[in-house]
Amino acid sequence: MRLAGLGWVTPLGSTLDGVWEKLQAGESAAAKSLGQGPGEKGLEGFPVPQEVSAEASRHPRLRRSSAISRFAVVAGLAALHDAAVELDEASAGRTALVFAISNGGVIYTKRFFHEIVQSGAQTASPLLFPETVFNAPASHLAAILGITGASYTLVGDGAVGLLALRMAEDLMMVNPELDRCLVVGAEELDWLLCDAYRRWRLLRAAPPIAPFAQVAHGTILSEGAGAVLVAREGEAVEIEQIHPGGNFARQRELAGQLEAIARDLAPNDSVDLFLASANGTFIDAAERSVAAKHFPKAAVYTMKPAVGESVAASGIWQTICAVLALRRQELPPLLGIPKGFGLTTARKPPGEAWRRAVVSTCGLNQQVAALTLRI
Amino acid sequence: MNRQRNEKPSRVAVVAAGVVSPLGAGLEATRRALREARDCISPVTRFSVAQCRCTTAGQVDDRWLAEVVPNDRKARRLHRVSRMMITALQELLAQAPDFRPDLVVVGTTSGGMSFGEQYYRALQQPDVQTRQVPSWIANYPPQKAAIDALEASGLAAPCQVIANACASGNNAIGHAFECIRSGRYERILAGGYDALSELVFVGFDSLQAATPEKCRPFDRQRSGLVLGEGGALLALETLELARARGADVLGEITGYGISTDNHHLTQPHPSGIGPRRAMERALASAGRAPNEIDYVNAHGTATPFNDAAEGRAIIELLGPVPVSSTKGMMGHSLGGAGAIEAVITLLALRHGLLPANLNFRAGDPDLALEIVANEPRTAGDARVALSNSFGFGGTNATIVLETPEDLAA
């Protein structure tokens, strides 16, 4: 399978080149206070700049939709554009859609339930409820693209983006009539989400995210969408293998699960890049130990300090980041690197060109997945 | 796992199943309830419905779950939807103790939503009691029930958790079927689940999709659905492997069709094009002609729009064929519906008894359907059935289930 097109909406912007240049320049997104819940202090997150999805909100299908749907549509259309694919009725029939969602439409869900709690069920809005359903963003994008066949929304934790890519590969393998599959991961940001992650002891109140630190201080949430068009033919970056993933029962078991996946995926001396999901939480230690043991020569990078943790979108962002690094033979600087890190953080190939990358996504709620890309 | 596509498609057997629904816990309890055409709808007890039009639902009795879940500290923290899935998986593994899936594909719409509701309500209190909050948050995500069930049974497998609204369970079974048939996987655990939650209940009530009266699928005076809850799992395996180890085969999945109807987020296109495409694709996938279908387990929510669109599609595509919706008996369990109804359809074929479409009085004059009205119908020669599930977002899924003669061991 090939990655034929890429698109993203991130707190740093929404063009491939523009975001990549900011990452290369060592920029991180602007954090914003998200207001506060009852009795709580304000928490910060990385929002998407408002102008990014303004155009999408004019589409009739998206007039009442939440931000998550608009991000998803912008990223999905960008990936198709990047691949120079224009869908008509026939080609839409040979295109599948797979969405990855974790927190979903939390803004409308909160508003809907707030009405129930504050004023009773009689006041709950029938306009809000349909947008709270996990597959609402996929439904909007399918309608805009005219897709009448397979459309799936997968839910999960931070691993769900790669699990969606795996499902896309499954669909392509079992349905020879499919030409392509558009995979989109999307999330939106709200104080309620931040409050939940803080009470779950996984969030810090304000940036920076300190990746791979000895002590995990917590992550910062963000929002946006990532989209990749998986096709049988396309550009030079190939999806070599997508591991079906696994689950870990306890945090201390994560490293073992990730190690098992790493063993399945690649011999340790053939990986040039390790695109980690490290986000300032317990997953960093697991990825650090697996990278040191299995991919000692690989250059390690996580984009979370720059753009935050956007859960389902993050896995797709990481994949896009890996493609761009392989294409351009460069990595952005790893922000917030701890003293005595001990792993390679090279930004250019030391000698021979980078040819192979591992993307790792460790979720915060028991799921883990990884893939390898080759140029 | 991760094999290449078969030149010759594998046949896909159902070698075990487990089910928990308002009809009961387990295949035998479910079969008894179906035989008696039992009305399992009752007043909602889990939260206040005083301000809702609809006040009833199909509910799973927690005592059915407590019997089989160890009363340890971790089990107490689990959401009841996890306990439903643990119960269903234990039943399945009792039939197939050696079943080790390559993959788990399940469907849900809201998972442990009520934990999210408890967390939000706690936030509204002036002094938030925080002790339970991390546990609610950690056990609220929709994928948890599948992972918890695996863990409780000592199984390990990657999970694909589909949230395609009310079609999720059928999508999960259908996708699993395609993955095995193609040779990419050999054994998959497939199913679906959902538990009642206030947010979802009020959501359907706010849309006036839920009825204050009886749920009357395909009836002329149908006025809406009642919600339900539950879950079911099916152990899918290549028929070849199942036979090689002498497994008891409950039935066979032979076809799957999926379609997306882009008409509206919550309403099907009135022409029934979405359901029709799903059924057409399922028939093509199974290599079956319309006149070979012996029974249709309909989505049949009893909303005016759904039943009209589905009924029209059935009539136009299949002609006269026995049809029933079991939602009048047990409610609509959303992400669990497709899986529970797949089990019900397998039981119908295996025991030659088509389940009743409860609360039916008179058919819609525009829908000349052959409804299995109010009482189950003996149909010893029924071999091939469709099971439909449709959902918000215009997602439609149909699976074909069979008990062919050659399945006898």
- Lowest mean pLDDT: which of A29-43, B18-32, B298-312, B394-408? A29-43
Predicted pLDDT of residue B1: 43
CB A227 within 8 A of CB A6: yes
Q: Is the dihedral of CA A59, A61, A64, A69 positive or negative?
A: negative
Predicted pLDDT of residue B380: 87
DSSP element (H, E) containing B16: strand B12-21
Which chain B positions have a beta carbon within 8 Å of A192's beta carbon? 120, 123
Which chain A positions have a beta carbon within 8 Å of B266's beta carbon? 130
Chain A nearest CA to B35, separation (Å)? 35
- Lowest mean pLDDT: which of A163-177, A193-207, A261-275, B315-329? A261-275
Hey, how many other C-beta atoms are within 10 angstroms of the C-beta on B94?
11
Phi, psi dihedrals of residue B257, rounded to the nearest 5°: -135, 135
The number of angstroms, rounded, from the C-alpha of A330 to the middle of its chain's C-alpha atoms is: 20
Residue A128 token pair = 């809000």
A110 pLDDT more than 70: yes
Which chain A positions have a beta carbon within 8 Å of B134's beta carbon? 199-201
Predicted pLDDT of residue B366: 84
Residue of A nearest to B155 (CA): A247
Q: Is the dihedral of CA A233, A236, A241, A247 positive or negative?
A: negative
Q: Which amino acid is at A26?
A: G
The number of angstroms, rounded, from the C-alpha of B287 to the middle of its chain's C-alpha atoms is: 24
A267 pLDDT more than 80: no
Please give the C-alpha separations between residue B6 and each of A173, B189, B238, B258, B281, in angstroms, as whole numbers.
Answer: 10, 20, 12, 21, 20
Q: How many residues does chain A have?
A: 375
The number of angstroms, rounded, from the C-alpha of B322 to the middle of its chain's C-alpha atoms is: 20
Of B108, B130, B262, the CB nearest to A142: B262
CA distance B11 to A367: 30
CA distance A7 to A82: 7
Helix (H, G, I), strand (E, B) or coil at A151: strand
Predicted pLDDT of residue B69: 59
Q: Do B158 and A245 touch (CB under 8 A)?
A: yes
CA distance B185 to B324: 33
CB A110 within 8 A of CB A57: no
Number of A/B CB contacts below 8 angstroms equals: 198
CA nearest to A106, candidates A63, A52, A51, A68: A68
A208 pLDDT more than 70: yes
pLDDT band at B358 (very low <50, low <70, confident <90, very high): very high
Specify the pTM: 0.96
B117 pLDDT more than 60: yes
B95: left (phi over 0), alpha (psi -120 to 50) or beta: alpha
Predicted pLDDT of residue A251: 86
pLDDT band at B409 (very low <50, low <70, confident <90, very high): very low
Q: ∠A15-A16-A20 over CA atoms, to 5°?
A: 110
DSSP assignments along A108-133, one per residue: HHHHHHHHHHHH-GGG--TTTGGGGS
Residue of A nearest to B107 (CA): A154
Predicted pLDDT of residue A234: 73
Residue of B nearest to A92 (CA): B260
B284 touching chain A per CB within 8 A: no
Of B52, B182, B206, the CB nearest to A125: B206
Looking up tokens 């796992």, which residue turns up? Answer: B1
- CB proximity list for A267: less than 8 A, separation 6 or greater: none
Question: Which of B47, B49, B123 best tests the A interface by mutation, with the highest count of A CBs <10 A?
Answer: B123
B292 touching chain A per CB within 8 A: no
CA distance B19 to B346: 12
pLDDT tens for B164-175 read 999 999 999 999
DSSP element (H, E) containing B19: strand B12-21
Radius of gyration for the alpha carbons in chain A, expressed in angstroms and rounded? 20
CA distance A241 to B167: 29
pLDDT band at B266 (very low <50, low <70, confident <90, very high): confident
Of A122, A148, A157, the CB nearest to B259: A148
Q: Do B199 and A112 touch (CB under 8 A)?
A: yes
Chain B nearest CA to A332, separation (Å)? 32
pLDDT tens for A132-147 read 999 999 999 999 999 9
Q: What's the mean per-residue pLDDT of chain A?
A: 93
Of A201, A245, A247, the CB nearest to B150: A247
Helix/strand/coil (H/E/C) assignment for every residue in B237-284: EEHHHHHHCCCCCCEEEEEEEEEECCCCCCCCCCCCHHHHHHHHHHHH
Mean pLDDT across the stretch A260-265?
90
pLDDT tens for A293-332 read 999 999 999 999 999 999 999 999 999 999 999 999 999 9
Chain B nearest CA to A173, separation (Å)? 7
Predicted pLDDT of residue B68: 57
Question: In the 8-state DSSP scheme, what is residue A248?
Answer: -
Q: Do A174 and B184 touch (CB under 8 A)?
A: yes
Residues of B catalogued as catalytic: 166, 299, 332
CB A153 within 8 A of CB A236: no
CB A3 within 8 A of CB A326: no
B49 touching chain A per CB within 8 A: yes
pLDDT band at B74 (very low <50, low <70, confident <90, very high): confident
CA distance B138 to B133: 9
CB A131 within 8 A of CB A66: yes
Residue B206 token pair = 């706010």
Long-range contacts of B211-214 (CB under 8 A, 24+ apart): B211/B53, B211/B54, B211/B302, B212/B53, B212/B54, B212/B55, B214/B41, B214/B328, B214/B358, B214/B359
pLDDT band at A152 (very low <50, low <70, confident <90, very high): very high
pLDDT tens for B267-287 read 888 888 999 999 999 999 999
Percent of chain A with pLDDT over 90: 84
Percent of chain B with pLDDT over 70: 95
Residues 153-182 of B with CB under 8 A from A: 156-165, 171, 175, 178-179, 181-182
CB B391 within 8 A of CB B108: no
pLDDT band at B71 (very low <50, low <70, confident <90, very high): low
Residue of A nearest to B391 (CA): A135
pLDDT band at A120 (very low <50, low <70, confident <90, very high): very high
Predicted pLDDT of residue A252: 86
Question: Which of B5, B164, B198, B273 best tests the A interface by mutation, with the highest count of A CBs <10 A?
Answer: B164
Predicted pLDDT of residue A113: 96
Which chain B positions have a beta carbon within 8 Å of A256's beta carbon? none
- Lowest mean pLDDT: which of A6-15, B16-25, B138-147? B138-147
Residues 82-121 of B with CB under 8 A from A: 102-103, 108-109, 111, 117, 119-121
B147 touching chain A per CB within 8 A: yes
End-to-end CA distance of chain B: 26
DSSP β-ladder status, A273-275 and A246-247: unpaired
Q: Do A130 and B265 touch (CB under 8 A)?
A: yes
CA nearest to B183, candidates B238, B221, B137, B143: B238
Sheet strands (E) in chain A: 2-9, 32-33, 44-45, 95-101, 151-155, 180-187, 224-231, 238-242, 246-247, 273-275, 299-301, 356-362, 367-374
pLDDT tens for B246-257 read 999 999 999 999
Any alpha helices (H) in B302-388, and if so which ranges? 304-318, 327-330, 337-351
Mean pLDDT across the stretch B370-376?
98
B374 pLDDT more than 60: yes
DSSP element (H, E) containing A330: none
Residue B180 token pair = 């095995």
- Lowest mean pLDDT: which of A30-44, A297-311, B109-123, B195-209? A30-44
Residue of B nearest to A141 (CA): B262
CA-based diameter of chain B, in Å? 66
DSSP β-ladder status, B251-260 and B395-402: antiparallel
Helix (H, G, I), strand (E, B) or coil at B186: coil
Helix (H, G, I), strand (E, B) or coil at B113: helix
The number of angstroms, rounded, from the C-alpha of B5 to the middle of its chain's C-alpha atoms is: 28
A268 pLDDT more than 70: no
CA distance A92 to A148: 7
A177 pLDDT more than 80: yes
Of B109, B151, B164, the CB nearest to A152: B164
pLDDT tens for A211-261 read 999 999 999 999 999 999 999 987 678 999 999 899 998 888 899 999 999
DSSP β-ladder status, A95-101 and A151-155: parallel
Helix (H, G, I), strand (E, B) or coil at A368: strand
CA distance A358 to A236: 16
Q: ∠A321-A326-A330 over CA atoms, to 5°?
A: 80
Predicted pLDDT of residue B67: 60
Mean pLDDT across the stretch B58-70?
81
Of B103, B128, B394, the CB nearest to A139: B394
